[in-house]
């Protein structure tokens, strides 16, 4: 598959067809700080929130490059919409770690979406008969406003609530709890610079009982029920990286497209001449550089993830370097896309600062996306450690 366009492109085609509708809804998405109900209905109709749900749970279980291309296309219309679809996709891979009936209950409905935030030091799950009693606070639950279920990552404690529970390897246990959103207290904190439509709110639980069957340990072989390539070889962490790379590239690509339209129409007044932007040598050079950056970043993602998908289909195990390369591709793509957006924003001049123009919101969105951990420059340190034969000092 490496270097080729995704073979299963039904969902990619649907996403591309929806992109103009999503773009038209973008001002409303930002103003309301969530995806409008009508747009959600279209995204669900196209099954875009179910792309990575196992077939056994009523999902689409697409190949990873189809997922990438579809997220990219949605994000070309609006970054928040792309982020929500991508985030939900990463989360939904965990349906493979649940009993089939439970997976269908949580992920299989027509409009099912599960949202969660990252690990929290303010969270604990105390072992109780038949499950756990959960207390904690979490942040950044992207898509929580249209989700029906939430996930809560917790450190596990023995029944006394004080002693950390340990696994067979002697290490502290962690467990993810799935619960109806109605059981949580949601706090609207999402007053932010960009990605406003993701509605990434805070949530908290107080001594909530969660049954054992609604819990799992992420990427634990012992918990995995579905053994197909997508779930056996790729972690949900890998899918988040792929999704957010797609979001960033989709935003930057649409920004470049609109800048080229502007360049054929705008003659900057500061020059004193009626010379269009497209006739400026500096602008010509920047457009070429932006095109090269986006193509190179996208090609790297497709090359690395595509090769690994082929290997996963053959059930070949991944080495640590393979995981480092996935992290490298997603980090590189997100940062290259941000740099392209920065170049285009500056090249558009004063036009770019107006909300009526297609640059200002995308500039804020892509710079907000680059603050996510998958884009941090520190990732390169971990990747370099692997390439140099060292044990990485963080998660890949």
The torsion angles phi and psi of 103, rounded to 5 degrees, stand at: -60, -40
CA distances from 187 to 113, 180, 200, 213, 327 (A): 19, 16, 10, 27, 32
Q: What is the pLDDT of residue 267?
A: 82
CATH code assigned to 10-107? 1.10.540.10
> According to the model, what pLDDT value does residue 1 have?
40
Give the pLDDT score at 271: 55
List, by residue range, all CATH 1.10.540.10 domains of the chain: 10-107
Check if the beta carbon of residue 367 is closer than 8 Å to that of residue 338.
yes
If one compares 375 and 149, the residue with the highest pLDDT of the two is 149
| Distance in angstroms (rounded) separating the CA atoms of residues 218 and 269 | 57
Q: Quote the percentage of the chain above a pLDDT of 70.
A: 97
pLDDT at 196 over 80: yes
Instruction: Give me the pLDDT at residue 394, please.
Output: 85
Q: Which of 15-24, 140-149, 270-279 has the lowest mean pLDDT?
A: 270-279
Percentage of residues of the chain with pLDDT beyond 90: 91
Tokens read off for 100: 């089939």
Confidence of residue 169 (pLDDT cuts 50, 70, 90): confident
pLDDT digits (tens, 9 = 90+) for 253-280: 999 999 999 999 988 765 555 789 899 9
CA–CA dist 6, 138 (Å, integer): 35
Outline which parts of the chain fall under CATH 2.40.110.10. 114-216
Q: At what angle do helices 320-347 and 281-313 cross, to 10 degrees?
A: 160
* Confidence (pLDDT) at 47: 97
C-alpha dist (Å) from residue 149 to 37, 81, 173, 194, 241: 17, 19, 23, 25, 22
**pLDDT for position 270:** 59
Strands (DSSP E) contained in 158-234 are 174-180, 185-187, 201-211, 215-216
Per-chain mean pLDDT for the chain: 94
Secondary structure, 3-state, 230-296: HHHHCCHHHHHHHHHHHHHHHHHHHHHHHHHHHHCCCCCHHHCCCCCHHHCHHHHHHHHHHHHHHHH
Q: Are 109 and 50 in contact, with CB atoms under 8 Å apart?
A: no
- The CATH architecture of the domain made up of 114-216 is Beta Barrel (2.40)
**What are the C-alpha distances in Å from 110 to residues 125, 205, 217?**
30, 27, 26
Spatial CB neighbours of 52, under 8 Å, sequence gap ≥ 6: 59, 60, 61, 62, 67, 89, 90, 92, 93, 230, 239
3-state secondary structure of 138: strand
CA–CA separation, 174 and 395 (whole Å): 15
Maximal CA-CA distance, the chain: 79
**pTM to 2 decimals?**
0.95
Asked if 152 and 91 count as a contact pair (C-beta separation under 8 A), the reply is no
Torsion angles phi and psi, residue 187, rounded to 5: -120, 125
Instruction: Report the SS3 class of residue 205.
Output: strand
Q: Which two tokens stand for residue 195?
A: 């990605």
Beta strands in 73-190 (DSSP E): 114-116, 123-128, 131-141, 149-157, 174-180, 185-187
Query: pLDDT digits over 291-315, tens only?
Result: 999 999 999 999 999 999 999 999 9
Domain 234-387 has CATH 3.40.50.620: no
CATH 1.20.140.10 domain extents, the chain: 234-387
Residue 153: pLDDT band (50, 70, 90) is very high
The band of 9, judged by pLDDT with boundaries at 50, 70 and 90, is confident
pLDDT at 7: 52
Q: Is the pLDDT of residue 45 over 90?
A: yes
Mean per-residue pLDDT, 318-327: 97
* Residue among 247, 370, 233, 377 at smallest CA distance from 305: 233
* Contact assessment for residue 343 and residue 290, using Cβ atoms and an 8 Å cutoff: yes
Query: Does 2 have pLDDT greater than 80?
Result: no
The stretch 98-117 carries a mean pLDDT of 96
Q: What is the pLDDT of residue 369?
A: 96
Residue 96 DSSP label: G
What is the sign of the dihedral through the CA atoms of 326, 287, 366 and 384? positive
Q: Inter-axis angle of helices 236-263 and 64-77, to 10 degrees?
A: 40
């Amino acid at each position: 598959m490496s270097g080729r366009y995704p073979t299963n492109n039904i969902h990619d085609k649907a996403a591309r067809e929806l992109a103009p509708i999503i773009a038209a809804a973008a001002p409303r998405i930002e103003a309301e700080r969530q995806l409008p109900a009508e747009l959600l209905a279209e995204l669900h109709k196209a099954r875009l929130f179910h792309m990575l749900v196992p077939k056994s749970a009523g999902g689409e279980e697409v190949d990873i490059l189809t997922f990438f291309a579809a997220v990219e296309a949605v994000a070309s219309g609006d970054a928040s919409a792309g982020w929500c679809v991508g985030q939900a996709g990463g989360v939904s891979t965990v349906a493979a770690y649940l009993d089939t009936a439970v997976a269908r209950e949580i992920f299989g409905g027509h409009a099912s979406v599960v949202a969660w935030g990252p690990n929290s030091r303010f969270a604990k799950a105390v072992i109780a008969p038949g499950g756990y009693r959960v207390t904690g606070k979490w942040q950044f639950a992207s898509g929580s406003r249209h989700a029906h279920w939430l996930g809560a990552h917790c450190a596990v404690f023995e029944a006394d609530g004080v002693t950390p529970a340990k696994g067979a390897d002697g290490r502290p246990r962690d467990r993810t709890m799935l619960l109806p959103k109605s059981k949580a207290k949601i706090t609207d904190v999402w007053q932010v610079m960009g990605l406003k439509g993701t509605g990434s709110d805070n949530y908290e639980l107080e001594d909530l009982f969660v049954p054992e069957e609604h819990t799992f340990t992420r990427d634990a072989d012992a918990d995995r029920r579905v053994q197909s390539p997508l779930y056996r070889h790729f972690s949900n962490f890998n899918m988040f990286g792929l999704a957010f790379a797609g979001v960033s590239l989709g935003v930057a690509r649409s920004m470049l497209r609109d800048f080229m339209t502007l360049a054929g129409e705008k003659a900057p007044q500061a020059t004193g001449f009626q010379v269009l932007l497209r006739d400026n040598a500096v602008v010509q050079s920047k457009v070429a550089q932006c095109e090269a950056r986006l193509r190179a970043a996208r090609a790297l993602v497709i090359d690395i993830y595509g090769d690994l998908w082929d290997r996963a289909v053959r059930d070949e195990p991944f080495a640590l370097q393979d995981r480092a390369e996935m992290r490298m591709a997603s980090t590189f793509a997100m940062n290259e896309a941000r740099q392209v957006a920065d170049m285009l924003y500056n090249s558009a001049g004063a036009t770019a600062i107006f909300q009526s123009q297609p640059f200002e919101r995308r500039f804020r969105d892509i710079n907000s996306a680059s603050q996510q951990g998958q884009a941090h420059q520190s990732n390169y340190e971990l990747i370099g450690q692997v390439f140099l034969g060292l044990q990485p000092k963080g998660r890949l």
